[in-house]
């Protein structure tokens, strides 16, 4: 059975106000992570939750952790996430249609069951105890208190964690590093490739972009002799991103008349 | 307000994170959900520290953060590697075990 | 014991020749038959020289051996491929190579129109080699190799014209029936090895007196089974009649003179086994007695000249087997009858072949008649063989068969009277069917089609017949004068010139009785067949005749008793195997397969599913903790 009504000692009213405003927002944000189609939205919502948690930490007399939460998580880890998102494609949106049968339903059942049991267990573990509060533990300052713990009681774990950090850094470097299979193409190679290609159309080099000065030149296609835009004159990355100025507006007036 | 509310919030966030790990296909989002679960655990640790009146919970939370940072670094590196070779960050596409 | 260095050539020459003819193929078509005949003749030459060399030696030195190579050497079990030429083997060597050479010569003419004459001669040489190995092997295992070799040659030659399905089936029938006997021989060899630790004749002979009677009886019974298979004795007799599908020279050489008598050789060679077990001897006598009557009865109803002769062969080998079961002197008498039979039966087969040659391969005696005038030499040689087989003095058969009848009567008590009566009855029936055969074929009015032009065969064919006819006349007297053969074989067969048991009747009385039986048989036959013989066999005949025409139901018996239950058993076993044994295996496999199919769905390769399972695992863990700490 669930022991939801656990009395652990009350807090002051301001904290309660803070909690009841921020906690529902955090839960909503968490649900938003689940629902968001775009990964970047999820990342922003996660950042919000992390800041909320940082505020809770500070409210719970864990000043150091609150600051670290903001600096390390929201600052470093989330930036890392965003970097990767940019790398992978910031605009790609995921399909939320489930294609493994029964996955979603069983996930919800299992996770809710897990949560319920956890609540029950935690409640059972804390039953009949009253909160001590950190007033005495933080007497000499929260940071000093933590430092004392870290470098006395937990010094061994601290050293091990440092080794872990170095290993992770090295591992990330090894994973991200890609060995070059062949040397980079130089001008001579590119020239040969143009002339040996399937057609000689590109032998003279790709047409340059940016004919009309009133636009940002790189995203404006060059015009072919007949007035139609040359798609090869625009970087394929821009094209894929949809950052290309539509070529229609540059077509000759005469051609439009013909079409009409 | 009762301190156990923090615990309940922690459990709710943890549960949502678990659902996200299982349900979402984008590897990066999955990772975010794992971070969410870790954060939820941290919240519980901090609350336990307050209940028990000592800093052990906070130290545990601190270590969790460090480990989480390591995990994110390596995990994201793996995602980048997979993306580089397969042009996809979907965990369903990396189902070579099936074939 | 003398060691000789050229026994191996006896076998090697025909073997090499056979290999040459088979491997070189059509290239040897022009001269293959001449090579084969010369090789056979040279083997005969070696045999004759060995015979004279043997006569030049005395006592134990007469037997010659040659070790060719060490064959098997496993622990204490050692078998050499070595040859033994003693007084018994030399008789066979001379018979095989002598009659074999005559038949080679005969075949040159007889097979001259056949496209595959070269192949025929290759098989004949193969047979000669295998048969010589059979009689020259110094151990049961060496004998076994030759035994299987002649089985193979017999199979190949019966099915020589295998384009006819019936002939191919006949070959298979012979092969299968022989396999049954071969199982007996291999079992006998195994028991002998288990009992004596060796399989050489000398070793077994040395060990036999110390062995238990039960073991000797077991070996004897198995040897008898082997002999019954090879020599077409009851109950494995049914293949011989069908074996006449082969070319006539084959019937003469393999299925009359030599191979089918291998069973008699096996029993006489194993005399030391049978001497130690009266039960085994009794079985031999019973088998021989049944077969001699059985074969003779079948012979009376056959219209096919070759099948009639085949039935006669069966019957005569029955005489030999009977004799070899009647104690030491019986072995020698059996060999004597074997040798004389080899001459007159081969001669008669060749005569039958000559008749067929002149009659466009017609074998039905009802379509013969009056051929004697057109083929005088064939008639004369056949007639001499006829007189020999029915036992008219002084022809060969008289001496050997008379001895057997005498021996049978002297077996003692009721057994003697039964056996004597059987042999006498057999003699009468033999006289009947042989007379029937000769009357229907050579005398009377002609009953053949206008298309047939009976003519005398070429010299290459009648010369061998003439030589064999001389043998049919002279051999009996030769072997019997001064008991020369019995004494010659005595060192090997332990036979003395004493007739075992108390004499029931004086030999002269037995001879008179036998002659009387012959006269009765001849008389009845002449009375029945001198007049008109219907071209088509009459339908309205007694039940007895019908049964005899169906070979005394031997095939029906085999089918009903062996084949159909065998098929049923096989079917049952197949079903048991399929449903019970395989079914169990399939059930286990099916359980695993379906379980795997079900479990496979868990392993779908998606990380998310594995993550879900992890969540489930965590749930289970927490639930356990929840329950435990309740």
Distance from the A15 Cα atom to the nearest Cα atom in chain B, whole angstroms:
8
Q: How many residues does chain B have?
A: 99
Please give the mean pLDDT across all residues of chain C: 87
Share of chain A above pLDDT 90, in %: 25
**Is the pLDDT score of C498 beyond 70?**
no
The number of C-alpha atoms within 13 Å of C443 and in the hemisphere containing its C-beta is 14
B79/C contact by beta carbon, under 8 A = no
Confidence of residue A216 (pLDDT cuts 50, 70, 90): low
Residue A213 confidence (pLDDT): 47
**Is the pLDDT score of C356 beyond 90?**
no
Beta strand pairing call for C2-3 and A229-230:
unpaired
Among A7-16, C180-189, C511-520, where is mean pLDDT lowest? Answer: A7-16
Radius of gyration of chain B (CA): 17
What does the alpha-carbon distance between residue A229 and residue A219 come to, in Å, rounded to a whole number?
Answer: 12
What does the alpha-carbon distance between residue A241 and residue A239 come to, in Å, rounded to a whole number?
Answer: 5
Confidence of residue A2 (pLDDT cuts 50, 70, 90): very low
C617/A contact by beta carbon, under 8 A = no
Residue A245 confidence (pLDDT): 64
* C450 burial type by CB count under 10 A (0-12 exposed, 13-18 middle, 19+ buried): exposed
**Two tokens, residue C531:** 């007049």
At residue C233, the 3 state secondary structure works out as: coil
Of C125, C171, C121, the C-alpha closest to C151 is C171
The enclosing H or E element of C365 equals none
Contacts of B among chains (3+ CB pairs under 8 A):
A, C
A114/B contact by beta carbon, under 8 A = yes
Instruction: Choose the closest CB to B94 out of C603, C607, C611.
Output: C607
Within 8 A of B79 by CB-CB distance, chain A residues are: 84, 88
Question: In DSSP terms, which residues pair with C137 in a beta bridge?
Answer: C83
Q: Please write the tens of the pLDDT for every residue from C285-297.
A: 999 999 989 888 8
What number of C-beta contacts closer than 8 Å exist between B and C? 29
Asked if residue C473 lies in contact with residue C388, where contact means CB atoms within 8 angstroms, the answer is yes
C581/B contact by beta carbon, under 8 A = no
Identify the top-confidence range among A235-244, C194-203, C526-535.
C194-203
Mutation target among A112, A117, A124, A125 for the C interface, most CBs of C within 10 A: A117
**Number of helical H runs and strand E runs in chain B:** 3, 0
Of C14, C147, C142, C25, the C-alpha closest to C85 is C142
What number of C-beta contacts closer than 8 Å exist between A and C? 33
- Cβ atoms within 10 A of the Cβ of C291, count? 28
What does the alpha-carbon distance between residue C536 and residue C364 come to, in Å, rounded to a whole number?
Answer: 10
Residue C367 confidence (pLDDT): 82
> Which residue in the block uniquely carries the two structure tokens 């005899």?
C548
Mutation target among A114, A115, A125 for the C interface, most CBs of C within 10 A: A114
A168/C contact by beta carbon, under 8 A = no
At residue C231, the 3 state secondary structure works out as: coil
A150/C contact by beta carbon, under 8 A = no
Q: Is the dihedral of CA C280, C285, C286, C290 positive or negative?
A: positive
**Two tokens, residue C257:** 């003179």
Residue A5 confidence (pLDDT): 43
Distance from the C619 Cα atom to the nearest Cα atom in chain B, whole angstroms:
11
What does the alpha-carbon distance between residue B27 and residue C298 come to, in Å, rounded to a whole number?
Answer: 95
Distance from the B66 Cα atom to the nearest Cα atom in chain A, whole angstroms:
7
Least CA distance to C606: which residue of chain A? A100
Residue A96 confidence (pLDDT): 77
Instruction: Choose the closest CB to C606 out of B18, B95, B99.
Output: B95
Instruction: Choose the closest CB to A33 out of B20, B47, B62.
Output: B20
**Is the pLDDT score of C499 beyond 60?**
no
Instruction: Choose the closest CB to A115 out of B14, B32, B56.
Output: B14
Within 8 A of B32 by CB-CB distance, chain A residues are: 33, 39, 42-43, 46, 81
DSSP A146: H
- Cβ atoms within 10 A of the Cβ of A206, count? 13
CA distances from A245 to A91, A92, A210, A217, A225 (A): 18, 21, 11, 10, 19
Distance from the C71 Cα atom to the nearest Cα atom in chain B, whole angstroms:
57
**Two tokens, residue C328:** 């030491």
* C4 burial type by CB count under 10 A (0-12 exposed, 13-18 middle, 19+ buried): middle
Distance from the C605 Cα atom to the nearest Cα atom in chain B, whole angstroms:
4
Buried b (16+ CB within 10 A) or exposed e, C456-473: bbeeebbbbbbbbbebbb
Least CA distance to A118: which residue of chain C? C622
Residue A1 confidence (pLDDT): 37
> Which residue in the block uniquely carries the two structure tokens 């989330």?
A78
**Is the pLDDT score of A6 beyond 50?**
no
Answer with the residue of higher pLDDT: B31 or A126.
B31
Instruction: Choose the closest CB to B18 out of C605, C607, C615.
Output: C615
CA distances from A196 to A190, A192, A199, C470 (A): 10, 6, 8, 101
Asked if B23 and A98 come within 8 Å (Cβ–Cβ), the reply is yes
Mean pLDDT of C240-269: 87
Mean pLDDT of C82-108: 90
Sheet holding C64-74, edge to edge: C2-3, C64-74, C77-85
Confidence of residue B34 (pLDDT cuts 50, 70, 90): very high
Distance from the B3 Cα atom to the nearest Cα atom in chain C, whole angstroms:
22
**Two tokens, residue C441:** 């074929």
Among A172-176, C300-304, C379-383, C409-413, where is mean pLDDT lowest? Answer: C409-413
CA distances from C589 to C485, C597, C630 (A): 71, 12, 44
Of B38, B27, B13, B37, the C-alpha closest to B75 is B27
Instruction: Choose the closest CB to A107 out of C615, C625, C626.
Output: C615
Q: Is the dihedral of CA C371, C372, C375, C378 positive or negative?
A: positive
**Is the pLDDT score of B49 beyond 80?**
yes
The number of C-alpha atoms within 13 Å of A50 and in the hemisphere containing its C-beta is 28
**Two tokens, residue C247:** 């070319």
Asked if residue C256 lies in contact with residue C315, where contact means CB atoms within 8 angstroms, the answer is no
Least CA distance to A6: which residue of chain B? B4
Residue A9 confidence (pLDDT): 56
Least CA distance to B17: which residue of chain C? C615
Distance from the A2 Cα atom to the nearest Cα atom in chain B, whole angstroms:
12
Mutation target among A104, A175, A180, A240 for the B interface, most CBs of B within 10 A: A175
**Is the pLDDT score of C93 beyond 70?**
yes
What does the alpha-carbon distance between residue C1 and residue C201 come to, in Å, rounded to a whole number?
Answer: 14
Instruction: Choose the closest CB to B83 out of A88, A98, A100.
Output: A88
What does the alpha-carbon distance between residue C225 and residue C7 come to, in Å, rounded to a whole number?
Answer: 30
Angle of helix C396-409 versus helix C305-324 axis, rounded to 10: 50
Report pTM.
Answer: 0.62
At residue C538, the 3 state secondary structure works out as: coil
Q: Answer whether the bond into residue C394 is a cis peptide, omega within 30°.
A: yes
Q: Please write the tens of the pLDDT for every residue from C467-493.
A: 888 888 888 888 887 778 888 888 888
DSSP C259: G
Within 8 A of C615 by CB-CB distance, chain A residues are: 107, 110-111, 114
Distance from the A45 Cα atom to the nearest Cα atom in chain C, whole angstroms:
22
Instruction: Choose the closest CB to B98 out of C605, C612, C615.
Output: C605
What does the alpha-carbon distance between residue A38 and residue A36 come to, in Å, rounded to a whole number?
Answer: 6
Mean pLDDT of C293-305: 87
Contacts of A among chains (3+ CB pairs under 8 A):
B, C
**Is the pLDDT score of A4 beyond 70?**
no
Confidence of residue A222 (pLDDT cuts 50, 70, 90): confident
What does the alpha-carbon distance between residue A206 and residue C299 come to, in Å, rounded to a whole number?
Answer: 108
Asked if residue C147 lies in contact with residue C185, where contact means CB atoms within 8 angstroms, the answer is yes
Cβ-Cβ contacts under 8 Å for C421 (sequence gap 6 or more): none
Please give the mean pLDDT across all residues of chain A: 80
Mutation target among B7, B10, B28, B92 for the A interface, most CBs of A within 10 A: B28
Of C357, C351, C350, the C-alpha closest to C452 is C357
**Is the pLDDT score of A55 beyond 90?**
yes
* C523 burial type by CB count under 10 A (0-12 exposed, 13-18 middle, 19+ buried): middle
> Which residue in the block uniquely carries the two structure tokens 């009557």?
C293
**Is the pLDDT score of C400 beyond 70?**
yes
B94/A contact by beta carbon, under 8 A = no
Q: Answer whether the bond into residue C507 is a cis peptide, omega within 30°.
A: no
Asked if C616 and A120 come within 8 Å (Cβ–Cβ), the reply is no
Asked if A117 and C619 come within 8 Å (Cβ–Cβ), the reply is yes
C69/A contact by beta carbon, under 8 A = no
Mean pLDDT of A149-157: 92
Among C237-246, C317-326, C445-454, C557-566, where is mean pLDDT lowest? Answer: C445-454
CA distances from C93 to B37, C42, C265 (A): 102, 12, 12
A69/B contact by beta carbon, under 8 A = yes
**Is the pLDDT score of C587 beyond 60?**
yes
A2/B contact by beta carbon, under 8 A = no
Angle of helix B56-86 versus helix A155-176 axis, rounded to 10: 10
Within 8 A of A110 by CB-CB distance, chain C residues are: 612, 615-616, 619
Instruction: Choose the closest CB to A60 out of B8, B25, B46.
Output: B46
At residue C289, the 3 state secondary structure works out as: helix
Q: Please write the tens of the pLDDT for every residue from C149-182.
A: 999 999 999 889 888 888 888 898 889 888 888 9
What does the alpha-carbon distance between residue A226 and residue C67 come to, in Å, rounded to a whole number?
Answer: 106
Asked if residue C106 lies in contact with residue C249, where contact means CB atoms within 8 angstroms, the answer is yes
What does the alpha-carbon distance between residue A4 and residue A116 come to, in Å, rounded to a whole number?
Answer: 10
> Which residue in the block uniquely carries the two structure tokens 């080679």?
C104
Q: What share of chain A is helix, strand, coil (3-state, %, to 5)?
A: 60, 5, 35
Q: Please write the tens of the pLDDT for every residue from A160-202.
A: 999 999 999 999 888 878 777 778 888 888 888 878 877 776 6
Q: Which alpha helices (H) appear in chain B, and where do they start and end?
A: 4-23, 27-52, 56-86
Within 8 A of C611 by CB-CB distance, chain B residues are: 21-22
What does the alpha-carbon distance between residue A29 and residue C231 come to, in Å, rounded to a whole number?
Answer: 103
Q: Rounded to 5 degrees, what are φ and ψ at C71?
A: -90, -65
What does the alpha-carbon distance between residue C100 and residue C116 come to, in Å, rounded to a whole number?
Answer: 19
**Two tokens, residue A188:** 């001579």
- E-strand ranges in chain A read 222-223, 229-230
Asked if A164 and B70 come within 8 Å (Cβ–Cβ), the reply is yes
Angle of helix C328-358 versus helix C262-269 axis, rounded to 10: 170
Cβ-Cβ contacts under 8 Å for A136 (sequence gap 6 or more): B53
B94/C contact by beta carbon, under 8 A = yes
């Amino acid at each position: 059975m669930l022991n939801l009504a656990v009395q652990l000692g009350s807090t002051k009213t301001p904290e309660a106000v803070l909690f009841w405003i921020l906690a529902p927002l955090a839960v909503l944000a968490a649900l938003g992570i689940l629902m968001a189609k775009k990964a970047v939205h999820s990342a922003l919502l996660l950042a919000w939750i992390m800041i909320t948690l940082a505020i809770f930490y500070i409210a719970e007399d864990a000043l150091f952790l609150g600051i670290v939460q903001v600096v390390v998580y929201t600052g470093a880890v989330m930036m890392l996430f965003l970097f990767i998102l940019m790398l992978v494609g910031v605009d790609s949106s995921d399909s939320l249609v489930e294609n493994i049968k029964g996955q979603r339903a069983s996930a919800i059942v299992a996770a809710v069951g897990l949560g319920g049991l956890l609540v029950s267990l935690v409640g059972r573990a804390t039953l009949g105890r009253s909160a001590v509060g950190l007033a005495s533990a933080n007497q000499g300052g929260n940071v000093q208190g933590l430092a004392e713990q870290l470098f006395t009681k937990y010094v061994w774990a601290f050293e091990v964690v440092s080794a872990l950090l170095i290993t992770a850094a090295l591992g990330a470097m090894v994973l991200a590093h890609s060995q070059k299979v062949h040397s980079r193409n130089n001008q001579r190679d590119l020239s040969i490739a143009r002339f040996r290609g399937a057609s000689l159309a590109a032998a003279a080099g790709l047409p340059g972009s940016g004919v009309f000065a009133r636009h940002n030149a790189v995203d404006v296609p060059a015009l072919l002799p007949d007035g139609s835009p040359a798609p090869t004159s625009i970087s394929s990355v821009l094209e894929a991103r949809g950052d290309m100025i539509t070529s229609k507006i540059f077509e000759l007036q005469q051609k439009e008349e013909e079409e009409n | 307000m009762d301190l156990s509310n923090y615990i309940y919030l922690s459990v709710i966030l943890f549960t949502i994170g678990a659902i996200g790990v299982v349900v979402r296909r984008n590897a990066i989002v999955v990772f975010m959900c794992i971070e969410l679960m870790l954060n939820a655990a941290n919240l519980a640790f901090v609350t336990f520290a307050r209940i028990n009146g000592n800093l052990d919970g906070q130290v545990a939370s601190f270590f969790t953060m460090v480990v989480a940072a390591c995990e994110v670094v390596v995990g994201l590196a793996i995602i980048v590697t997979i993306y580089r070779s397969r042009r996809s960050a979907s965990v369903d596409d990396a189902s070579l075990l099936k074939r | 014991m003398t060691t000789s260095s050229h026994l191996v050539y006896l076998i090697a020459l025909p073997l090499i020749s056979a290999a040459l003819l088979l491997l070189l193929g059509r290239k040897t078509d022009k001269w293959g038959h001449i090579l084969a005949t010369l090789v056979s003749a040279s083997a005969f030459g070696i045999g004759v020289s060995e015979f004279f060399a043997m006569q030049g030696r005395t006592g134990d030195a007469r037997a010659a051996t040659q070790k060719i190579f060490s064959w098997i050497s496993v622990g204490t079990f050692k078998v050499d491929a070595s040859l033994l030429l003693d007084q018994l083997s030399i008789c066979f060597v001379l018979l095989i190579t002598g009659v074999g050479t005559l038949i080679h010569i005969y075949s040159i003419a007889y097979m001259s129109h056949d496209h595959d004459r070269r192949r025929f001669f290759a098989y004949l040489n193969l047979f000669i080699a295998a048969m010589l190995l059979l009689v020259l092997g110094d151990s049961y295992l060496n004998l076994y190799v030759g035994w299987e070799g002649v089985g193979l040659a017999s199979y190949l030659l019966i099915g020589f014209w295998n384009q006819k399905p019936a002939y191919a089936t006949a070959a298979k029938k012979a092969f299968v029936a022989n396999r049954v006997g071969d199982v007996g021989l291999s079992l006998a060899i195994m028991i002998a090895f288990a009992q004596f630790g060796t399989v050489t004749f000398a070793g077994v002979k040395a060990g036999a007196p110390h062995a238990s009677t039960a073991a000797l009886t077991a070996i004897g019974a198995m040897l008898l089974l082997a002999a019954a298979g090879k020599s077409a004795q009851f109950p494995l007799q049914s293949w011989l009649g069908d074996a006449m599908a082969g070319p006539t020279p084959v019937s003469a050489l393999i299925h009359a003179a030599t191979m089918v008598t291998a069973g008699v050789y096996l029993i006489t060679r194993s005399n030391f086994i049978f001497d130690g077990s009266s039960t085994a001897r009794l079985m031999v006598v019973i088998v021989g007695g049944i077969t001699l009557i059985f074969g003779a009865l079948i012979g009376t109803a056959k219209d096919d000249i070759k099948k009639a002769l085949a039935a006669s062969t069966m019957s005569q080998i029955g005489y030999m087997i009977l004799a070899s079961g009647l104690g030491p002197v019986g072995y020698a008498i059996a060999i004597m009858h074997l040798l004389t039979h080899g001459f007159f039966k081969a001669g008669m087969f060749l005569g039958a072949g000559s008749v067929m040659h002149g009659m466009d391969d017609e074998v039905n005696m009802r379509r013969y008649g009056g051929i004697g005038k057109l083929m005088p030499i064939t008639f004369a040689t056949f007639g001499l063989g006829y007189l020999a087989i029915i036992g008219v003095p002084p022809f060969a058969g008289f001496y050997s068969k008379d001895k057997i009848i005498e021996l049978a009567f002297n077996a003692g008590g009721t057994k003697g009277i039964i056996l004597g009566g059987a042999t006498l009855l057999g003699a009468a029936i033999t006289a009947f069917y042989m007379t029937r055969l000769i009357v229907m074929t050579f005398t009377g009015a002609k009953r053949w089609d206008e298309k047939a032009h009976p003519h005398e065969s070429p010299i290459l064919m009648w010369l061998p017949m003439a030589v064999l006819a001389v043998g049919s006349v002279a051999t009996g007297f030769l072997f019997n004068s001064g008991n020369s053969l019995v004494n010659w074989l005595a060192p090997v067969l332990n036979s003395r010139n004493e007739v075992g048991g108390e004499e029931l009747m004086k030999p002269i009385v037995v001879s008179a009785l036998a002659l009387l039986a012959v006269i009765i048989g001849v008389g009845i036959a002449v009375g029945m067949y001198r007049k008109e013989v219907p071209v088509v066999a009459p339908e309205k005949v007694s039940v007895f005749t019908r049964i005899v025409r169906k070979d005394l139901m031997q095939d029906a018996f085999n089918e009903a008793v062996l084949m159909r239950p065998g098929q049923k058993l096989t079917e049952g076993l197949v079903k048991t195997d399929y449903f019970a044994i395989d079914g169990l295996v399939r059930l286990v496999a099916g359980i695993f397969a379906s379980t795997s199919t079900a479990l496979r769905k868990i392993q779908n390769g998606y990380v998310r599913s594995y993550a879900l399972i992890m969540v489930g695992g965590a749930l289970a863990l927490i639930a356990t903790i929840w329950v435990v700490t309740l």
